């Protein structure tokens, strides 16, 4: 009998429904809801991440000779670079100007969700290294005629493994709040410098005096009425910011609630019993993830209350160690959300573009680290001896 590992076969699936949910989740684990079969299937079944919108599912599945799923990855053939939050438009323009073709590309990601977490999903104990799935994705890239593979918002371990396999490594930054075990929100405030502490207290006090009723709803407490209102809030935000059609359809929200249950938490502000603002969160093992927000009223500090402070309250009450409040936003720092690195890895077939991008990233990475170091100096937390 020949030695060596048993051969693995790669299949690219055009619908996640083609992959058994329990097999997928055995690889994905339960820590991060965004890579669950339930979340990804809701994106497809709601018409949000679908070919007509430039997201052609090509979910990668590695199986052994018995057909058991050993590793998988949420993967899409993309005809544009929208909804990704790791920006490669300049790379696309450079290749197109040189006479090449950047699209389609393969995007290993959770659509519309700049949420760090695992992307190369390997069944525990199966012995398949993450880099083997990365190599399979390169083969899949060639098979579908894509220019490149992009694994975005992956874990540091995945980033390291892919880098060792020759992929290009990119750093970004987000702002996360850490809960070291606070007993209440006042415990957190007590860790801040006096001026910052007073500012946050004033913000929460002003919202409390606004006449709005604030509610934290979870799972079955969120009704179709709430989802209808939340879609209006979401569209209000997308219309104001970008003036374009929204990424997520109206059907997505109730589908998400039905499929993820208590992992879904909605912070709602009501006026005279009617919802007027809301912030959507998903709950994982060690973090609560803030995702979408919107309002049809203009109340000072309401955004901070619903998106940041109520999420922190929830984390404290439930012993959750971290709040991740989405992409961008240096204004989060003064509210206790400090800069952390995010990771992505890229494989580009065109050698000329790959060399140019590698050179760019070699300069961008230390610049990003310096920026995070500078931003950390803006921390609101009290220093030794400070009141």
- DSSP letter string, 179-232: -SS-SSHHHHHHTB-HHHHHHHHHHHHHHHTTT-EEEEEEGGG--HHHHHHHHH
Instruction: Please tell me the predicted confidence (pLDDT) of residue 243.
Output: 59
- Between CA 92 and CA 108 the distance in angstroms is 17
CB 218 within 8 A of CB 265: yes
With a cut of 50, say whether residue 337 has pLDDT above it: yes
Instruction: Please tell me the predicted confidence (pLDDT) of residue 133.
Output: 95
Contacts of 93 (CB under 8 A, 6+ apart): none
- The pTM assigned to this predicted structure is 0.95
DSSP SS3 for 96: helix
Instruction: Please tell me the predicted confidence (pLDDT) of residue 387.
Output: 60
The two structure tokens encoding residue 187: 């415990």
- Between CA 228 and CA 324 the distance in angstroms is 25
* Chain Cα centroid distance, residue 151: 12
- Between CA 259 and CA 25 the distance in angstroms is 13
Instruction: Please tell me the predicted confidence (pLDDT) of residue 384.
Output: 72
Q: Where are the domains of the chain?
A: 9-173+340-376, 180-320
Record: fold of 9-173+340-376: Aminopeptidase (3.40.630)
Closest CA to 363 of 171, 202, 140, 185: 171
pLDDT band at 113 (very low <50, low <70, confident <90, very high): very high
Question: How would you class 5 by CB atoms within 10 Å of its CB: exposed for 0-12, middle for 13-18, buried for 19 or more?
Answer: exposed
With a cut of 70, say whether residue 157 has pLDDT above it: yes
Question: How would you class 4 by CB atoms within 10 Å of its CB: exposed for 0-12, middle for 13-18, buried for 19 or more?
Answer: exposed
The mean predicted confidence, pLDDT, of the chain is 95
- Between CA 151 and CA 353 the distance in angstroms is 17
pLDDT band at 6 (very low <50, low <70, confident <90, very high): low
9-173+340-376 shares its CATH topology with 180-320: yes
- Between CA 42 and CA 259 the distance in angstroms is 8
pLDDT band at 239 (very low <50, low <70, confident <90, very high): confident
With a cut of 80, say whether residue 3 has pLDDT above it: no
**From 28-37, 267-276, 323-332, the region with the lowest mean pLDDT:** 323-332
Closest CA to 274 of 245, 316, 310, 232: 232
Residues 40-53 pLDDT 10s: 999 999 999 999 99
Instruction: Please tell me the predicted confidence (pLDDT) of residue 2.
Output: 41
Instruction: Please tell me the predicted confidence (pLDDT) of residue 328.
Output: 78
User: Is CATH 3.40.630.30 what the domain over 180-320 is classified as, yes or no?
Assistant: yes
Question: How would you class 17 by CB atoms within 10 Å of its CB: exposed for 0-12, middle for 13-18, buried for 19 or more?
Answer: middle
In this structure, the chain runs to a length of 387
With a cut of 80, say whether residue 9 has pLDDT above it: yes
**From 28-42, 325-339, 362-376, the region with the lowest mean pLDDT:** 325-339
Vertex 73: Cα angle to 124 and 362 (nearest 5): 105
Q: Is the dihedral of CA 136, 138, 139, 141 positive or negative?
A: positive
Cis peptide before 173 (omega within 30 of 0): no
User: What is the bridge-based pairing of β-strands 287-295 and 75-78?
Assistant: unpaired
Residues 258-272 pLDDT 10s: 999 999 999 999 999
pLDDT band at 242 (very low <50, low <70, confident <90, very high): low
Share of the chain above pLDDT 90, in %: 92
pLDDT band at 224 (very low <50, low <70, confident <90, very high): very high
Instruction: Please tell me the predicted confidence (pLDDT) of residue 7.
Output: 83
With a cut of 50, say whether residue 1 has pLDDT above it: no
Region 167-190: mean pLDDT is 98
- Between CA 342 and CA 42 the distance in angstroms is 25
The two structure tokens encoding residue 65: 């000779």
């Amino acid at each position: 009998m020949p030695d060596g590992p048993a051969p693995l076969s790669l299949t690219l699936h055009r619908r996640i429904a083609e992959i058994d949910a329990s097999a997928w989740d055995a690889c994905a684990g339960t820590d991060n809801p965004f890579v669950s079969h339930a979340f990804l299937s809701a994106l497809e079944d709601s018409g949000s991440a679908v070919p007509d919108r430039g997201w052609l599912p090509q979910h990668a599945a590695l199986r052994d000779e018995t057909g058991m799923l050993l590793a998988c990855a949420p993967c899409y053939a993309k005809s544009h670079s929208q909804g990704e939050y790791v920006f490669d438009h300049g790379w696309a323009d450079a290749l197109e100007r040189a006479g090449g073709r950047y699209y389609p590309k393969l995007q290993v990601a959770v659509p519309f969700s700049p949420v760090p977490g695992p992307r190369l999903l390997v069944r525990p104990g199966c012995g398949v290294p993450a880099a083997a799935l990365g190599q399979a994705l390169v083969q899949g890239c060639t098979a579908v005629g894509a220019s490149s593979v992009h694994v975005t918002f992956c874990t540091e371990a995945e980033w390291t493994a892919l880098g060792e396999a020759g992929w290009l490594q990119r750093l970004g930054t987000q702002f996360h709040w850490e809960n070291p075990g606070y007993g209440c929100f006042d415990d957190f405030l007590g860790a801040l410098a006096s001026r910052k502490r007073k500012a946050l207290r004033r913000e929460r006090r002003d919202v409390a005096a606004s006449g709005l009723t604030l509610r934290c709803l979870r799972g079955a407490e969120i009704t179709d009425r709430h989802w209808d209102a939340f879609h209006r809030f979401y569209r209000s935000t997308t219309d104001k910011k970008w003036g374009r059609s929204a990424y997520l359809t109206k059907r997505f929200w109730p589908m998400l609630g039905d499929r993820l249950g208590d992992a879904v938490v909605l912070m709602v502000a009501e006026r005279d019993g009617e919802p007027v603002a809301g912030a959507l969160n998903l709950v994982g093992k060690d973090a609560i993830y803030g995702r979408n927000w919107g309002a049809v009223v203009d109340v000072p500090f309401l955004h901070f209350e619903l998106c940041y402070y109520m999420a922190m309250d929830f984390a404290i009450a439930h012993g959750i160690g971290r709040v991740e409040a989405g992409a961008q936003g240096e204004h989060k720092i003064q509210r206790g959300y400090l800069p952390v690195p995010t990771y992505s890895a890229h494989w580009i077939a065109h050698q000329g573009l790959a060399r140019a991008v590698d050179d760019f990233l070699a300069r961008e990475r230390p610049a990003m680290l310096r920026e995070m170091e500078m931003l950390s100096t803006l921390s609101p937390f009290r220093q030794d001896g400070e009141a």
